[in-house]
Chain A
Amino acid sequence: MMELRRRVAYRSDFWINFFGQTFFSLIIAYYLWSSIFKTTGKTEMNGFTMQSMIFYYLVAPLVFRIQQGLGIGFISRDIYEGSLNKYLLYPVEFFKFKLSTYLATSFFFATQLFVILGVYQIFFYDENIFQFHLLNIIFFLLALLGSTLIYFYLSVIFESLAFWYDNVWSVGVVLRFATSFLGGALIPLTFFPIGVQSLLNMTPFPYLIHFPVAVLTKGLPATELLSSFGIMIFWICIFYAVAKLVWNKGSYSYSGVGI
């Protein structure tokens, strides 16, 4: 609740975020892909038509934004500035506390996504691209939650490096770029060579963006849903365990600067 209040405390920031991030990337994608479709003369590429491609670029960046939660520096900044101290003093578990503010931010961006989906449904309805199926939405939400948890614990690991290194911001930027590329935020994963795709399937990346968007648009078969969620849980557990380990080691050597 606090994080939500903090987010909406700055109204202009709210709206600039809302329009800026969504529509600028959409306009770039539109011109890029319409020229690609035009020059190749195809109406469908790797399972995407021009319309479904636009829809993909409407949803994928927002899904990625939802996972990013508090963004780069959400723990390292606390470590550098010493504001971690206050969290260590509170009788709550740091991870739980951070996760709840992280999810609150994600929730905030998720509402933006659903506003956009609503607008799309009303003004640009195309049953081949996207339909409001309750079941799809529920699985989509679950996939969103899972992918956000993966991203959260993955970034906790990298953010905690701040206990030892003086500047992990650049590591955060690399992580963000790598995940957006390998997860499918820049180009849909179906455009990757088959070999690379099957390699990627052994990593957590496709479960970040590709999978939730596929659940929303296509509504995957039950078996695939089940196995995908299973794999997601597996990755969450792995990253949780590593994050906990790195955190415990790091906080032992923490020097509590700045107070």
Chain B
Amino acid sequence: MIKVEGLNKTFKVHKKEPGLAGSAKALFKRNYIVKNALEDINLNLDEGEIIGLLGANGAGKTTLIKILSGIIHSSSGNVNIMGHNPWDRHNDYRKSMSVIMGQKAQLWWDLPPMDGFLLLKEIYQIHHKDFYESIEHLSEILNVKEQLNIQVRKLSLGERMKVELIAALLHKPKIIFLDEPTIGLDISAQKTVRKFIKEYRKEYNPTMILTSHYMDDIEELCPRIAILRAGQKVFDGDLSNLHNQYAKNKLLKAHVKNEEDLQKLSTQFPSELGTIELAKNEISISSPRAKVMDAARYLLNNADIIDLNIKEEEISNIVEKIMMKSGDKVE
């Protein structure tokens, strides 16, 4: 469905020295720096699959989406989506995909959403009956029926995102690129949007690429994720594999009944079972996966424990680590 091979994108950016002198100098001679936005990206998606694209700001997520949707041209590499090169901007391709950008409104600011929908109906040549059925159906689920005839500029951020979703889905795209669909929304609106995307997927089974800064979005919607760092893909695989591959330790937390035990543990806990930290009457131990049970047993045998907790490292922490620090490239 989506096949990306050896994709590269470089940008030439004009670098201006600060101040008036810098501006004057730039009139005659300009310095450019070449920035690698994407490097050797390979990606395959099957029909109906959904992938979460993660990365820090400037990692190249949006650039990748812009290339896949045909907005910008790649510097080199191949992209094949349903037999089309997006850059050709073939109408068949453009009719079968949709891009939803949380940060950028597509609907016309000065007009009510319904007027915008009507224009999209003409642009995508949507059948009259299908059009009104979709509007009815989608606005019902998203609960924005009342907002359809109010100027877009007067809607709240959450309402606007919901009508944007409707606008992007009217023509029932087979491929959907979602760029930060929940950005800036409050928690309940985020939940509504996530629930909507889930239901929509169940009903229409589109292929989807989702980027988000919120791990909740990714965890709830995407069984598979890809992580970009400085334009390179550093992880591509099941979200559940992340723990096995990257979280080498598990976290043990224990409440200890008396001070004596606490002191004893802090000095005598075997270092091969993990590293120990003390806080009041609680201890936390970061222990290698294979040694977790040994560490737990040691605790129970050598101290009076009131409560014991074993936890996986938070996914967001792992992802953050991969995004920020250097690590092995995983395919």
Inter-chain contacts of B298 with A (CB < 8 A): none
Inter-chain contacts of A253 with B (CB < 8 A): 73
- Name the one of A5, A89, A92 contacting B111, with C-beta atoms under 8 angstroms: A5
Contact, CB under 8 Å: B101 / A2: no
Q: Provide the bound-state CA to CA distance between A92 and B95, in Å.
A: 10
- Name the one of A2, A9, A255, A259 contacting B119, with C-beta atoms under 8 angstroms: A2
Q: Provide the bound-state CA to CA distance between A60 and B23, in Å.
A: 40
Q: Provide the bound-state CA to CA distance between A83 and B124, in Å.
A: 18
Contact residues of B between 75 and 125, Cβ < 8 Å to A: 89, 91, 94-95, 97-99, 101, 103-104, 106, 108, 110-111, 115, 119, 123-124
A221 on interface, CB distance cutoff 8 Å = no
Q: Provide the bound-state CA to CA distance between A33 and B52, in Å.
A: 70
Inter-chain contacts of A10 with B (CB < 8 A): 110
- Name the one of B11, B94, B115 contacting A2, with C-beta atoms under 8 angstroms: B115
Q: Provide the bound-state CA to CA distance between A257 and B66, in Å.
A: 10
Inter-chain contacts of A89 with B (CB < 8 A): 69-71, 94, 97-99
Contact, CB under 8 Å: A259 / B111: no
Residue in B11, B95, B123 whose Cβ sees the most chain A Cβ within 10 Å: B123
Question: In the complex, how many angstroms separate the beta carbon of A91 from the nearest chain B beta carbon?
Answer: 4
Inter-chain contacts of A6 with B (CB < 8 A): 108, 110-111
Contact, CB under 8 Å: B104 / A258: yes
Q: Known interface pairs A2-B119, A88-B89. Does A256 touch B71 (Cβ–Cβ under 8 Å)?
A: yes
Contact, CB under 8 Å: B94 / A9: no
B179 on interface, CB distance cutoff 8 Å = yes
B72 on interface, CB distance cutoff 8 Å = yes
Nearest to B180 among chain A residues (CB) is: A259
B62 on interface, CB distance cutoff 8 Å = yes
Inter-chain contacts of A92 with B (CB < 8 A): 91, 123
Nearest to A94 among chain B residues (CB) is: B89
Number of B residues near A (Cβ < 8 Å) is 28
Contact, CB under 8 Å: A255 / B111: no
User: Chain A interface residue count: which class?
Assistant: 20 to 34
Nearest to A258 among chain B residues (CB) is: B104
Q: Provide the bound-state CA to CA distance between A163 and B88, in Å.
A: 19
Contact, CB under 8 Å: B179 / A259: yes
A82 on interface, CB distance cutoff 8 Å = yes
Contact, CB under 8 Å: B103 / A259: yes
What 0/1 pattern do residues 217 to 259 of A give for CB contact below 8 A with B? 0000000000000000000000000000000000011111011
Question: In the complex, how many angstroms separate the beta carbon of A108 from the nearest chain B beta carbon?
Answer: 14
Inter-chain contacts of B98 with A (CB < 8 A): 89
Contact, CB under 8 Å: A252 / B91: no
Contact, CB under 8 Å: A9 / B110: yes
Nearest to B37 among chain A residues (CB) is: A255
- Name the one of B66, B70, B89, B91 contacting A259, with C-beta atoms under 8 angstroms: B66
Question: In the complex, how many angstroms separate the beta carbon of B90 from the nearest chain A beta carbon?
Answer: 9
Contact, CB under 8 Å: B94 / A90: yes
Q: Known interface pairs A9-B110, A255-B11. Does A90 touch B71 (Cβ–Cβ under 8 Å)?
A: no
Question: In the complex, how many angstroms separate the beta carbon of A215 from the nearest chain B beta carbon?
Answer: 34
Contact, CB under 8 Å: B72 / A256: yes
Contact, CB under 8 Å: A91 / B73: no
Q: Provide the bound-state CA to CA distance between A259 and B119, in Å.
A: 22
Contact, CB under 8 Å: A259 / B115: no
Q: Provide the bound-state CA to CA distance between A91 and B97, in Å.
A: 10
Question: In the complex, how many angstroms separate the beta carbon of B290 from the nearest chain A beta carbon?
Answer: 46
Inter-chain contacts of B62 with A (CB < 8 A): 259
A85 on interface, CB distance cutoff 8 Å = yes
Q: Provide the bound-state CA to CA distance between A86 and B66, in Å.
A: 11
Nearest to A10 among chain B residues (CB) is: B110
Contact, CB under 8 Å: B99 / A82: no
Nearest to A7 among chain B residues (CB) is: B110
Contact, CB under 8 Å: A86 / B72: no
Residue in B66, B69, B71, B124 whose Cβ sees the most chain A Cβ within 10 Å: B71
Q: Provide the bound-state CA to CA distance between A2 and B151, in Å.
A: 13
Contact, CB under 8 Å: B123 / A90: yes
Q: Provide the bound-state CA to CA distance between A71 and B45, in Å.
A: 44
Inter-chain contacts of A256 with B (CB < 8 A): 66, 71-72
What 0/1 pattern do residues 73 to 97 of A give for CB contact below 8 A with B? 0000000001101101111100000
Contact residues of A between 26 and 67, Cβ < 8 Å to B: none
Inter-chain contacts of A90 with B (CB < 8 A): 94, 123-124
Contact residues of B between 151 and 203, Cβ < 8 Å to A: 151, 179
Contact, CB under 8 Å: B71 / A88: yes
Question: In the complex, how many angstroms separate the beta carbon of A6 from the nearest chain B beta carbon?
Answer: 5
Question: In the complex, how many angstroms separate the beta carbon of A80 from the nearest chain B beta carbon?
Answer: 13
Nearest to A83 among chain B residues (CB) is: B104
Q: Provide the bound-state CA to CA distance between A255 and B71, in Å.
A: 8
Question: In the complex, how many angstroms separate the beta carbon of A216 from the nearest chain B beta carbon?
Answer: 33
CB<8 Å pairs between A and B, sample of 18 = A2-B108, A2-B115, A5-B111, A6-B110, A6-B111, A9-B110, A82-B104, A83-B104, A85-B66, A86-B104, A89-B99, A90-B123, A91-B123, A92-B123, A254-B73, A255-B72, A256-B72, A259-B62
Considering the complex of A and B, which 9 residue pairs feature the smallest CB-CB distances, nearest first?
Answer: A91-B94, A91-B91, A256-B71, A91-B95, A256-B72, A86-B106, A259-B104, A256-B66, A85-B71
Q: Given A91-B124, A254-B72, 9 more contacts at CB 8 Å?
A: A5-B115, A10-B110, A82-B104, A89-B94, A91-B91, A255-B11, A258-B104, A259-B62, A259-B101
Interface residues of A (CB under 8 A from B): 2, 5-6, 9-10, 82-83, 85-86, 88-92, 252-256, 258-259
